[in-house]
Amino acid sequence: QLDLSGDYGDFTNRGVSTWVDATRPVGAQCHRRIFVAPVDARIIALDSRTGTPCDDFGTHGQVILDRGVVNAPEYKGEYAITSPPAIVDGLVVVGSTVADGHRAEAPSGVVRAFDARTGALRWSWDPVPRNAAEQGYDTWKGPKAHLTGAANAWSIISVDSARDMVFVPTGSASPDFFGGERLGQNLFANSVVALRASTGKMIWHFQTVHHDLWDYDVPAQPMLFTMHRGGREIPALAQATKTGFLFVLNRETGKPLFPVEERSVPASDVVGEQAWPTQPFPTLPRPLSPQRFDIADAFGTNDSTRSWCRQQLAGARSTGIFTPPSLTPKATVIFPGNIGGSNWSGVAYDPVRHLAIVPTNRLITIVDLIPRAELHGRAMSGTRFDEFAPQAGTPYGMRRRHLVAPNGAPCNPPPWGTLSAIDLETGAVKWERPFGRIAPLASVAGSDKWGSPNLGGAMVTAGGLVFAGGAVDRSLHAFDVETGKEIWSATLPTGVHGSPMTYVSASGRQFVVVAAGGHKELHAFAGEFERPGDYFVAFALPSSNDKAPHTSPVEAGHYEGHIVLDRTRLVLKWDLSVTGSAAAVTLETQGIDVTGHGSGRVSGDSLSLDVDWVFATQKCSGTMHLTGTTANHYTAIIGDLSYVDGCSGGGKKLGSFAMWKGQRRESVVMPSAR
């Protein structure tokens, strides 16, 4: 029931939350509730056994969140939800996603707590002080500064229920790249803020970036751990940031546990802007991403791509981290770029070895501000890799892009993605290794050591393994937590944008599960190797009951499943016949009148098919090439496809499919096409 009419900048959901209503007996309706906050700004309470709405929560099981905020949304999707709510002592605490760059007076980034049983609002906290009596009010300067929006907590909120505390990671104030309408330090944007869970009152705050001009949100869940120092146990918090800094704070006071220095940074050269003169730099751990990019060091896999990168960078301003954006035509290099450093994936923690495992990016972004009168013309002449934002209410629009050569290689030197292990007792980096691989560059010598941009978390197990996906190589990797050495990997149907999880079944067998849904944000690096998808993939150590994983033959029969084309998921049925190594198939989709016939070959557990398809009601047709392998003890076939879309210009597009032999056991709901 998602409202697909909205213009959602980040079409994402990072998880669900659960709460037990102790006043209801076990087995009663909504004794255990599942809370999901879909992107169209709702909280929905569901019975954990049946999935039916808990009717006593809000209105028929849901609370609408885009109402009652300062600066009401101008369109569906300007205010959204992308992360699961936090649960603490009968409260559901939720932040928000606010569209970047749309306007200065964007919707407020208010954090709210609702009663988990009734949905009634219990408290709210706005990161932008709105009246003179509030703390931090004088850090916002200008006649419209206190109407500024965003500074929202779009990532995951942490909870210390024993201390009645929630820890909120806040983002940049609106708009991201020009602060002339919100001069000053801008507390409590770009901060970690500790709130009293029962009341919403602020306990402490720590700002990671003053007067943000770089989209340096605090993007990740604050990680809570216990530090051992001088024979004492200190409740601590580690906060990963887009700048590549890892701040380690006392959880009770917000004071740094490793020294943090205020250092001078470059001034702005834009009329109306006043960059804050200093920024906080932790002395330990060292930065996990480089802090400066010299244009003379532009990278290329050959002379042609290196020349292209240098041409794009000609005349750009690059004076190190926190260089403020300049006015067109002089672009500014932002390094680390606006996806990090670290992004939403944050920190995984090994409490035995006291190690934090952090995936990071090393990727430059170039940004320039554009006078309002020139913005439309520039946007019309831009490339598909340029992102333009109006920044309404300011004198300037904005253009930004990740600087990537036509062959998919970023223009800054590799590695472009790393996995690092930090000893949180000492602040030392124990090991660091390139993470992932850009598949289109696989044939280039040395590319196995270049890493790749990544958006996805890591997980540490008690057995000393680090599992991580997130790179554009469509793989799940396992590393030795002591050394960082890669010891295992497996190819997935599509890319991973989430974190792996682990559980032990009732029989005592341990599983590792990952959601693979594709990387729309990293498509520029993955190229034709990236596919949309819709999969959960589980791995486990072998048992005596397992069949050999790579010898399960492709079997003839009736199959049902789904096919993912672009961002549309369709129910698919096919009948497959196999004679020796030859295969033939007839297929049809549910909901739209697409049918197809084709043939191909079988080789052991692998299948390839070429299909001619017809969309009868639209009077158009095309072709499709599918390749897959068996899974789930030969009862499933999962793989990739490419198709010629004869209904919209004949272009070649990519997708994926998953088919199960026989009747599907669960129902599949087909979403509206987008």
What is the per-residue pLDDT across 342-357, written as a single tens digit (0 to 9) for each? Answer: 999 999 999 999 999 9
SS3 439: helix
What is the per-residue pLDDT across 552-592, written as a single tens digit (0 to 9) for each? Answer: 789 999 999 999 887 678 899 999 999 999 999 999 998 88
> Residue 669: is its pLDDT beyond 60?
no
pLDDT at 524: 64
Active site residues: 215
Estimate to the nearest angstrom the gap between the alpha carbon of 347 and the chain centroid. 14
pLDDT at 651: 82
Is pTM beyond 0.85? Reply is yes
pLDDT at 665: 42
> Residue 668: is its pLDDT beyond 70?
no
What value does the mean pLDDT of the chain take? Answer: 92
> Given pLDDT bands bounded at 50, 70 and 90, which one contains residue 270?
very high
What is the per-residue pLDDT across 106-133, written as a single tens digit (0 to 9) for each? Answer: 999 999 999 999 999 999 999 999 999 9
Closest to 154 measured CA to CA, from 223, 102, 212, 78: 78
Give me the residue label for tokens 């730099």. 281
Are 422 and 428 in contact, with CB atoms under 8 Å apart?
Answer: yes
What is the per-residue pLDDT across 482-514, written as a single tens digit (0 to 9) for each? Answer: 999 999 999 888 888 889 999 999 988 999 999
Average pLDDT value for residue range 615-640:
89
> Given pLDDT bands bounded at 50, 70 and 90, which one contains residue 474?
confident
pLDDT at 439: 83
CA distance 477 to 310: 34
> Residue 361: is its pLDDT beyond 80?
yes
Give me the residue label for tokens 């006291």. 354
pLDDT at 423: 98
Residues with Cβ within 8 Å of 35's Cβ and at least 6 positions away in sequence, in order, are 16, 17, 18, 19, 43, 44, 45, 46, 84, 85, 87, 92, 116
Q: Which of 5-14, 250-259, 471-480 has the lowest mean pLDDT?
A: 5-14
